[in-house]
């Protein structure tokens, strides 16, 4: 089943920083459900193009910020595809959590150490030189 999927970037203008910049936020919309996240960037509001969802101009700041936004969009699209393939259905929160790395099972140190020892035990005695 195909679902509606959209990624949007916007400015959080109601919380400006002391230097006049405002945070860039991201919004993932899937089938009418919305999940929002911070892009961890701040920009000058007068440089922002609301329709395009990116900075205007050719300045170094604009180019770097637009590249970072493009990378975020590509990562979100990739995570959307991965979640769709593994689970068969997608929600905005699932994609956001996959992008942010939340809910991903991490191995503990002891589990990694045990795995290392198992791999190393397979190598023991494998490459012994003959005299």
DSSP string, 64-87: HHHHHHHHHHHHHHHHHHHHHHHH
Residue 84 lies in a domain: yes
**Banded pLDDT at 121 (limits 50, 70, 90):** confident
Q: Do the domain assignments include residue 102? A: yes
Treating both helix axes as pointing N-terminal to C-terminal, what angle do 92-100 and 60-87 enclose, rounded to 10 degrees? Answer: 120
In the predicted model, is pLDDT for residue 29 greater than 60? Answer: yes
**pTM attached to this predicted model:** 0.74
Q: How many domains is the chain built from?
A: 1
Dist. CA 87–CA 30, nearest whole Å = 15
Domain of 119 in residue numbering reads as: 5-123
* pLDDT, tens digit, 9 for 90 and up, residues 70-103: 999 999 999 999 988 988 888 999 999 989 888 6
Can you tell me which residue has the tokens 């769709």?
Answer: 84
Q: Is residue 128 assigned to a domain? A: no
- Would you say residue 108 lies in a domain? yes
């Amino acid at each position: 089943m195909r679902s509606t999927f959209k990624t949007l970037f916007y400015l959080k203008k109601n919380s400006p920083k002391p230097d006049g910049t405002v945070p860039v936020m991201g919004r993932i919309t899937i089938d009418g459900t919305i999940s929002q996240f911070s892009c961890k960037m701040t920009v000058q509001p007068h440089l922002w193009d609301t329709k395009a969802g990116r900075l205007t101009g050719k300045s170094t700041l604009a180019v770097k910020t637009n590249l970072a936004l493009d990378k975020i969009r590509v990562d979100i699209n990739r995570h959307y595809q991965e979640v769709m393939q593994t689970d068969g259905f997608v929600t905005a929160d699932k994609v956001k959590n996959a992008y942010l790395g939340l809910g991903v099972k991490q191995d503990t140190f002891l589990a990694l150490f045990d795995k290392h020892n198992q791999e190393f035990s397979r190598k023991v005695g494998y490459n012994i030189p003959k005299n």
